């Protein structure tokens, strides 16, 4: 900001001085203490704060809370009329302004007075701390209808809640920035999404936040679209991130975890349970996972865990583990695409695609099941190899195809150990429709055939002595 001067005396007015004047005019002159609030940790300041909030909303101004502890014995209503573009900034002193909520209801409730709310409404909570008293509240902040609610540099500590510390009920654009949750019993952040309840939560973000020592769930999501978490820590939580879409008959798409840290949590670090109708889809990029613990605050020596359920889908990019393994559990139609990662152990039967950073398929084979069938990651060039002696004219089983599942594709190459390539080398594509298998020749050999009988992949020489047949079976899908 450039310096300005009085015309008559040519006296410079510096930018810093003007900022001080603006700060005093905007915040300190619209202070809750002007309405009788004490902030002494003893006096019930509810009525004074409500009067100050009503005035600030009417004038679309900021509301300043000087350092102190403000006791609330009933909820504070931030109620906005439609089509006025009204907004409010509730602002305090960092680590100095605290709300002590000492009743069983909600702390601050953002609502509308009409049938809808103007999308221009803007509510900001900044530099405020929240804790609970002898009576446990339902929430500290309940957002019923506000679009673009910003909660920044707020501290929630030593709270027991019956619903959630911050609850987004029917709104989009919630932004949590540089906030901390410590020593919380219950849910920290709750995104509602239910057709039955007519609630929704879209396009929200949690950035540079810290959830630590949580006896409950750090982030609880019923569904929605477009939640992004950036550089956020979730450690020593009973549950770190839980998308409960099945319970609410919902879906959660476009979830993003970027440069987040998960460590010493008890249940799944990222829990995306699902079924055939309701599931989640997420991108996990350059996050770090530490060991989990069996009990909250106990020794952390368990693998990190991402749960997909029966249909959830994830793309994982560049995770660094530092020696910690991460289990990905899933089944049926779940899928995981892993790009340039190490330390993962897929658990269950579901599609896993392994890619290098350059996009090339990477390492092959995972294991065999109890029947000896290959367990491969779908989409990767994953091979099983072997050599089987076969007499002339005898179809000999070289590989057992899956007995469950459907729509598989394998490429099979086989070669007799002696003789010219044209006569003794063959390449086949083997496909299934349900459990009906078919082998189609891509490169035929005059003295070697590949066929399928039931779920047995077989090779046979048509002439010559008994010779070993070397084979490679690679699953493509």
CATH number at residue 430: 2.60.40
Same domain, 315 and 292: yes
Whether 373 is in a domain gets the answer no
DSSP state of 330: -
pLDDT confidence bin for 361, thresholds 50/70/90 = very low
Same domain, 461 and 401: yes
Same domain, 310 and 390: no
Write down the pLDDT at residue 349: 77
Task: Tell me what percent of the residues of the chain surpass a pLDDT of 90.
Answer: 42
Taking only the tens place, the pLDDT of each residue in 78-126 is 987 755 556 789 999 988 999 999 999 999 998 876 655 555 568 999 9
Whether 377 is in a domain gets the answer no
Strands 12-13 and 4-5: antiparallel
Looking at 340, 368, 396, the residue that finishes a domain is 368
Strands 210-221 and 175-177: unpaired
Give CB contacts under 8 A, 24+ apart, made by 35-44: 37/65, 37/70, 38/68, 38/70, 39/65, 39/66, 39/67, 39/68, 39/69, 39/70, 39/97, 40/68, 40/69, 41/68, 41/69, 41/71, 41/100, 42/71, 43/71, 44/71, 44/72, 44/73
Range picked from 29-33, 368-372, 435-439 for highest mean pLDDT? 29-33
Write down the pLDDT at residue 341: 78
Same domain, 418 and 351: no
Write down the pLDDT at residue 154: 97
Strands 233-243 and 261-263: parallel
Same domain, 247 and 308: yes
**More confident: 347 or 384:** 347
What six digits make up the tokens of 371?
A: 């029947």
Does the predicted model carry a pTM greater than 0.75?
A: no
Is the confidence at residue 283, as pLDDT, over 90?
A: yes
Whether 375 is in a domain gets the answer no
219 - beta bridge partners?
Answer: 189, 241
CA dihedral 91, 93, 94, 100 (to 10 degrees): -80
Mean pLDDT over residues 367-385, rounded? 48
Whether 376 is in a domain gets the answer no
Taking only the tens place, the pLDDT of each residue in 312-343 is 999 898 766 656 788 999 988 888 888 877 77
End-to-end Cα spacing for the chain: 62
Taking only the tens place, the pLDDT of each residue in 226-257 is 899 999 999 999 999 999 999 888 888 889 99
Interior CA angle at 177 toward 229 and 92, to 5°? Answer: 160
Phi, psi (rounded to 5 degrees) for 45: -95, 10
Looking at 335, 368, 401, the residue that finishes a domain is 368
Same domain, 334 and 400: no
For residue 48, the surrounding DSSP H or E stretch is helix 46-59
Write down the pLDDT at residue 29: 55
Residues 6+ apart with CB under 8 A from 427: 411, 412, 413, 441, 442, 443
Same domain, 103 and 74: yes
Whether 18 is in a domain gets the answer yes
Q: Is 74 helix (H, G, I), strand (E, B) or coil?
A: coil
Domain count, the chain: 2
Same domain, 331 and 392: no
Whether 320 is in a domain gets the answer yes
Q: 16: alpha, beta or left, given left = phi > 0 and alpha = psi -120 to 50?
A: alpha
Is the confidence at residue 276, as pLDDT, over 70?
A: yes
Whether 255 is in a domain gets the answer yes
Same domain, 90 and 154: yes
CATH number of the structural domain spanning residue 155: 2.160.20
CA distance 352 to 114: 50
Looking at 368, 392, 418, the residue that finishes a domain is 368
Is the confidence at residue 26, as pLDDT, over 70?
A: no
Same domain, 217 and 167: yes
pLDDT confidence bin for 463, thresholds 50/70/90 = confident
Write down the pLDDT at residue 4: 46
Mean pLDDT over residues 55-62, rounded? 84
Task: Tell me what percent of the residues of the chain surpass a pLDDT of 70.
Answer: 78
Mean pLDDT over residues 280-290, rounded? 91
Is the confidence at residue 28, as pLDDT, over 80?
A: no
C-alpha to C-alpha distances, 224 to 118, 210, 253, nearest whole angstrom:
21, 22, 7
Write down the pLDDT at residue 195: 63
Taking only the tens place, the pLDDT of each residue in 378-420 is 444 445 677 877 777 888 888 888 776 556 777 888 887 655 5
Which residue segment(s) compose the domain that 471 sits in? 382-475
Same domain, 197 and 58: yes
- Residue that has been written with the tokens 């195809």 in this structure: 401
CA distance 29 to 456: 84
Same domain, 111 and 37: yes
Strands 180-191 and 155-168: parallel
- Residue that has been written with the tokens 């957002």 in this structure: 143
Whether 374 is in a domain gets the answer no
């Amino acid at each position: 900001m450039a310096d300005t001067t009085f015309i008559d005396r040519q006296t410079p007015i510096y930018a810093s001085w003007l900022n001080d004047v603006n700060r005093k005019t905007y915040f300190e002159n619209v202070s809750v203490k002007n309405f009788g609030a004490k902030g002494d940790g003893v006096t019930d300041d509810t009525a004074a704060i409500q009067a100050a909030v009503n005035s600030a909303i009417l004038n679309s101004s900021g509301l300043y809370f000087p350092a102190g502890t403000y006791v609330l014995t009933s909820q504070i209503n931030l109620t906005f009329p439609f089509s006025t573009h009204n907004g409010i900034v509730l602002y305090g002193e960092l680590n100095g302004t605290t709300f002590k909520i000492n009743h069983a209801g909600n702390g601050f409730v953002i609502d509308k007075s009409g049938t809808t709310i103007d999308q221009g409404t803007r509510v900001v909570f900044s530099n405020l701390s929240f804790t609970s008293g002898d009576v446990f509240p339902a929430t500290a902040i309940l957002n019923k209808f506000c679009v673009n609610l910003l909660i920044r540099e707020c501290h929630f500590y030593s709270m027991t809640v019956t619903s959630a510390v911050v609850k987004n009920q029917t709104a989009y654009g919630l932004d949590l920035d540089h906030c901390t949750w410590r020593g919380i019993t219950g849910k920290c952040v709750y995104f509602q999404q239910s057709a039955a309840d007519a609630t929704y939560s879209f396009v929200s973000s949690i950035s540079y936040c810290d959830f630590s020592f949580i006896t409950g769930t750090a982030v609880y999501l019923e569904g929605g679209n477009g939640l992004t978490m950036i550089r956020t820590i979730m450690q020593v939580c009973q549950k770190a991130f839980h998308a409960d879409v099945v319970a609410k008959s919902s879906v959660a798409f476009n979830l993003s975890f970027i440069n987040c840290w998960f460590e010493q949590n008890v249940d799944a670090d990222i829990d995306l349970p699902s079924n055939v109708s309701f599931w989640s889809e997420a991108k996990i990029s350059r996050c770090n996972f530490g060991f989990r613990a069996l009990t909250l605050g106990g020794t952390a020596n368990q693998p990190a865990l991402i749960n997909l359920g029966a249909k959830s889908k994830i793309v994982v990019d560049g995770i660094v583990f530092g020696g910690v393994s991460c289990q990905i559990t899933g089944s049926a139609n779940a899928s995981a695409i892993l790009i340039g990662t190490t330390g993962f152990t897929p658990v269950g039967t579901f599609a896993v695609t392994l890619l290098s950073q350059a996009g090339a398929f990477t390492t092959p084979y995972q294991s065999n099941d109890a029947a000896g069938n290959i367990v491969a990651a779908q989409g990767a060039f994953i091979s099983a190899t072997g050599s089987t002696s076969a007499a002339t004219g005898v179809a000999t089983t070289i590989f057992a195809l899956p007995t469950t599942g459907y729509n598989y594709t394998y490429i099979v190459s086989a070669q007799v150990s002696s003789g010219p390539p044209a006569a003794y080398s063959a390449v086949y594509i083997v496909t299934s429709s349900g459990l009906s298998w078919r082998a189609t020749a891509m490169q035929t050999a005059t003295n070697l055939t590949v066929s399928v009988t039931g779920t047995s992949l077989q090779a046979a020489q048509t002439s010559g002595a008994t010779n070993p047949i070397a084979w490679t079976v690679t699953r493509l899908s």
